[in-house]
Amino acid sequence: MKVAITCDYLLGRSHYVEIIENLCEVFPEAPIYCFAHKKGAILGHIEQRSIKSTYLSNIVSTEEEFYQHSNKIPSLAKNLFVSCEYDLIINISKGFSQGLAKCETTKLITYLYDLDLDSKIKKTFMQKILSPMVFSWIKKSLGQADKVLSSREDLLTTLHDLKNTEVIPPPFRVSDYALFPKDMFKHHFFLIEAKGLNINEATNLIEWMKEWNYSFQFIGPDAHLSSIKSNFPENTFFGDRCSGEHAPVLASSKALVTFNTEDFPALALGTLATGRPVILAKPLSKWLSGLGVDYISHFDKAEIKKALDNVISDSVLETQKLRAHVMEYHDIKFKAQMKRTLDKAFHEIHPHDHTHSSDCSQCK
């Protein structure tokens, strides 16, 4: 079975790209088709394969810029044609790439990662006029897929008229985050994810943490806070580093606090994997809930203080149960579920061929 992989864009490291990487491991020969590709922005084996894109690759370099051109996607999709030599297209979509042109005989399986376009598309006057057309096109193109897989049940609820659907939680590299012995660290400070906070919010949070006499450190991408970083000691901002460096810092914290609702909560999952609790913005309840997970409904001083005070003490913390949250997103489990779905699609295409399906040694 010849397979092609399609996606919305390849513009930089993200959890969305990690999903694409997981499928590239299953299909190392599959070419990639996308609307925009920033060459060199993604290190690793993705860049080593054939990648076909549109002229958007020359004019956008970030996700935000990509969504500014969302009204052009339906017409661009007609001109980015996936060759008829492929039996199956595996599409990892954030709303658009399931609409790429293909042969009628080519099977299409779409993995719908996200569809929160209202918060991403900046509504210029033209966008406001054209966005209903874009949303209509998205819904129609999703209906043309032979099967729609979804990262969450609530995405399918918004697309209730789709017939052949299945929920497969997205992958997370659990093996990057060890469960450290509980007594290995002092757990005396809170970690705060920098992404999701603007300058005023970050400044207020710093002042409040000092007022409450809570030790803290920011973690993750923080370039948007560069104007205030010089006002504080250098170790106030740990920055964005590899998982190998993040893991011990997460494990040594009292808890992680995050207001980042735009992304899959990778840092929160990493924290839980190391046996530490998390405090999340309420919208992230769509990804995480249960023991060791608390929420803040909005950025409010009293509510934040209450959540910090309620963090589970080390004496009663059951680290194995916190780590259990992450198992649902285990990348090996994801590959195994995808493999079963793709094997079924292969046998539907070639019912009398029992010699091959996808080959993923990590999934067995």
pLDDT in tens, 294-331: 999 999 999 999 999 999 888 788 899 999 989 999 99
Q: Is the pLDDT of residue 121 over 70?
A: no
The pLDDT of residue 120 is 65
**Region 330-334 average pLDDT:** 92
User: Positive or negative CA dihedral for 331, 336, 339, 340?
Assistant: negative
- What type of residue is 347? H
Q: What is the pLDDT of residue 180?
A: 85
Per-residue tokens: 122: 């900046």
Whether residue 163 has pLDDT greater than 90 = no
Q: For 37-50, what is each residue's pLDDT tens digit?
A: 999 888 777 888 89
Instruction: Write the CA distances from 268 to 109, 148, 250, 261, integer angstroms.
Output: 29, 27, 9, 11
pLDDT tens digits, one per residue of 216-257: 999 998 989 999 998 888 889 999 888 888 999 999 999 999
Q: Looking at residue 362, what is its pLDDT?
A: 44
- Write the pLDDT tens digit of every residue in 182-195: 788 889 999 999 99
Strands 278-281 and 255-258: parallel
Quick check: 360 pLDDT over 80? no
pTM passes above 0.85: no
316 DSSP 8-state letter = T
Give the three-state DSSP class for 352. Answer: coil
Q: Taken in order 174, 283, 225, 207, is the CA torsion positive or negative? A: negative
Angle at 331 between CA 330 and CA 336, to 5 degrees: 100
